[in-house]
Amino acid sequence: MNVTVETLALIVVFAPVIGAIIAGLFGRVLPAKVSMTVTTGLLMVAAASAITIFIGYWDKSLVLPDEPIRIFKWIDVAGFTSTWSIRLDAISVVMMAVVTSVSSMVHLYSWGYMSDDPFKPRFFAYLSLFTFAMLSLVTAADFMQLFFGWEGVGLASYLLIGFYFLKRSANDAQIKAFVVNRVGDFGFVLGIMSVYFVFGTIEFKDVFHAIPHHIHDTMGWGKLQLPAMEVIALLLFIGAMGKSAQFLLHTWLPDAMEGPTPVSALIHAATMVTAGVVLVTLCSPIFQVAPFASGVVTLIGAITAIFAATIGIAQNDIKRVIAYSTCSQLGYMFFAAGIGVYQAAMFHLFTHAFFKAMLFLGAGSVIHGLHHEQDMRKMGGVWKPMKITYAIMLIGTLAITGVGIPGTNFGFAGFFSKDAIIESAFAASSEGLPFATFAFWMGILAAFLTSFYSWRLAFMTFTGTFRGDAHGGHHDDDAHAHAVHAAHVEGHHDAHQEDGVAPAHESPLVMLVPLFILAFGAIFAGFIFNDAFVGEGAHDFWGHAIYVSPENHILHARHNVPEWVKFMPLTVTLLGLLGAMIVYLWNKGLGEKIAKATGPIHAFLYNKWYFDELYDAVFVKGARALGDFFWKVGDQKLIDGIINGIASDTNIISKKSVKVQSGYVYHYAFIMLIALVAFGALVLLKKG
């Protein structure tokens, strides 16, 4: 049986890269359909293999090998080795299933969504490349390969955000994403170096085994000695913050929505941004012995959850709302990991992948149907022409807001995972873990806001009357920058209905099928896997992949929380729904009135707490001023000055000294004799 697992794992990891190579290198010569078929087909194969492994592991019909599959020795220099491997454990199996299934759905969906794009092969190549990088990230057996995958997904993300490369804003966004991620990656790299410094190896197994011997290690400079485990955990978490867009390093994620919507669904919702959560979960042995760092994770996670949710309620761009929602949900995952319930964090990651990918693809369907209109203020009444999309979005909203009946096994996916996190936070707070109480209340508040903004999105988009320009979308702001698209739009202006009904069309089947499949996950993933991920079966399911210290009983303690805690999330969710209904369903224009009445507060939220402005003033302008200083003073004045000065001095010396060459023989002879005397004197003086 093991042979099969290994073969399947190889297929999972390497099928996407084959697709990426074919579409990437030969995309220009092959017909676009070939590239698309190859990449999508290979992804389907990979997904089928990954799901086979996952289901097999879940129902225990399949045993995972203890040792990672070693593929080749990548780096081997003087005591530092890194082997390219496929690590198979619960985390990687779950992640492989999530990544390949969402990715294959996104590939399929893109057939419809990108149908008018002239650069389809490039798009599909990037998508497959991303999938490969993500898979090598989650299957890494050491920090080096993890870092490779980490940077690989960063690269793919960069390429895909700027896919519409003619668009200035897309280029800015891709650079922003790359630069902000560098900040996190710097921490991450330092973390990896610290791991090597302390443990002398970067192989996960060896590092985690050796932790008991290094708990009390310190590292630092001279007198400044810090506990090594805390330092490593914090540095790794800084990396996680960058990739997962946590508070302070979150600014790139909303801008990343400049990329095509399928990309947002795959990379900026379901998979890449969760890499930070995977990292923290994978390093649970380190974080479990680093209480301070875990406290920081809890705090940052809780802040992100509430902070992003507050911004989400004030945004008008449909994709940005979902982006902030993603940010907020990642906050949930992080504070779950911070208080030590990594299982719940992974569970939420798992369910979130389905419903968030679905919400994005649903939003993409709306955007596609409305000819690339993204502003919700210009939507409304879309349900009529796009009934299927409407149904899908409702399912997604129910899933993300976590609707379900507490105490029973009835509920959408988000219900199980989010409630597990909130209950755990309460249990952790009664155990006195740092920031757990804060995290609990922020989680509750964020749940309310989540419900509010999700329903707001649904109501603004689908109900009421169409508020947009009847002549299709605004191609100049958020539309495809690729000029070809204009032709497509003109061609589709066939059915202009009566006033107040959106001039939209339902998406083609190729876009709807992925939505159905994801909807299935959004409805049932929580119900089916609740037990294995966070319930009674959790211990067996996660095995050695997640380490929790013997004192950590939060996952069990959460079942014993008071009844009011269990009902709290549902209550605030319903309150959020009610609030959204009052403002956006029953009272037209109330939203604008509230926005006006709360002027500065609304502006504060609408402008994303002014983080971009702050960063621009401090870092961008600061870096520019520093650069100007080094350029104008350091380089031009100092360095160029010295060099040009030396050059001109050399010239002056040369001009003066050439005069020695007079042409008179007696001058020459004189110099010769003087030199002879001087040399003679020199050797005599040296003798003393």
Which residues contribute to the site for other proteins (CB under 8 A)?
A: 650-651, 653-655, 657-658, 661, 663, 665, 667-669, 671-672, 674-676, 679-680, 682-684, 686-687
**Residue 687 token pair:** 């003798």
Minimal distance, residue 631 CB to other proteins, in Å: 24
* Cα 166–chain centre separation: 24
Is residue 356 within 8 Å of residue 270, measured between CB atoms? yes
On whether the CB atoms of residues 289 and 549 are closer than 8 A, the answer is yes
CB of 57 to other proteins, least distance (A): 58
> 358 near 398, Cβ under 8 Å?
no
Q: In whole angstroms, how close is the CB of 655 to other proteins at the nearest point?
A: 6
- Count Cα neighbours of 659 within 13 Å in the Cβ-side half-sphere: 5
Task: Compute the least distance from the CB of residue 642 to other proteins, in Å.
Answer: 14
Least Å from the CB of residue 671 to other proteins: 5
* CA dist., res. 440 & res. 341, Å (int): 13
CB 100 within 8 A of CB 131: yes
Residue 218's DSSP bridge partners are: 227
Q: Please, which residue, 469 or 640, has the CB nearer to other proteins?
A: 640
Please identify, using beta-carbon distances, which residue of 520 and 670 lies nearer to other proteins: 670
- CB 660, min distance to other proteins, A: 8
Closer residue to other proteins, CB minimum distance, 617 or 681: 681
The nearest distance, CB 630 to other proteins, in angstroms, is 24
Q: Please provide the DSSP assignment of 37-73 as one string.
A: HHHHHHHHHHHHHHHHHHHHHHTTSS---SSPEEEEE
Which CB atom, from 592 or from 649, has the smaller least distance to other proteins? 649
Q: How far is the CB of 636 from other proteins (least distance, A)?
A: 21
Residue 597: is it exposed, middle or buried by C-beta count within 10 angstroms (0-12/13-18/19+)? exposed
Half-sphere exposure of 666 (CA within 13 A, CB side): 0
Closest to 124 measured CA to CA, from 279, 261, 20 = 20
Nearer to other proteins, 213 or 686 (CB): 686
Q: At its nearest, how many Å lie between other proteins and the CB of residue 26?
A: 36
**What values do phi and psi take at 411, rounded to 5?**
170, 165
> Which residue, 224 or 683, is less far from other proteins as judged by CB?
683
Kindly write down the DSSP assignment for every residue of 478-494, as one continuous string: TS-SSTHHHHHHHHTTT
Nearest to other proteins of 224, 684 (CB atom): 684
DSSP 270-319: ISGGGHHHHHHHHTHHHHHT-HHHHHHHHHHHHHHHHHHHHHHTT--BHH
Which of 614/647 has CB closer to other proteins?
Answer: 647
- For residues 37 and 80, the answer to whether their CB atoms sit within 8 Å is no
Tokens 């202009």 belong to which residue? Answer: 496
Per-residue tokens: 170: 């897309």
Report the distance separating Cα 461 and Cα 359, nearest Å.
13
Report in angstroms how near the CB of residue 676 gets to other proteins at its nearest: 5
Helix (H, G, I), strand (E, B) or coil at 581: helix
Shortest separation between residue 634's beta carbon and other proteins, angstroms: 22
Q: Which is nearer to other proteins, 3 or 658 (CB)?
A: 658
Nearest distance from C-beta of residue 679 to other proteins, angstroms: 5
Q: For residues 596 and 655, which CB has a smaller minimum distance to other proteins in the complex?
A: 655
**587 vs 651, beta carbon nearer other proteins:** 651
Nearer to other proteins, 408 or 654 (CB): 654
594 or 676, CB closer to other proteins? 676
Which residues, including other chains, have CB under 8 Å from residue 420's CB and lie 6 or more apart? 336, 341, 344, 347, 348, 530, 534, 558
Pick 77 or 665: Cβ nearer other proteins: 665
CB of 639 to other proteins, least distance (A): 16
Cβ neighbourhood burial of 145 (10 Å; 0-12, 13-18, 19+): buried
Nearer to other proteins, 221 or 664 (CB): 664
Burial of 435 (0-12, 13-18, 19+ CB in 10 A): buried
The sign of the torsion formed by the CA atoms of 276, 278, 279, 285 equals positive
Instruction: Give CA separation, 95 vs 201, 323, 521, in Å.
Output: 25, 21, 15
Alpha carbon distance 65, 369 (integer Å): 47
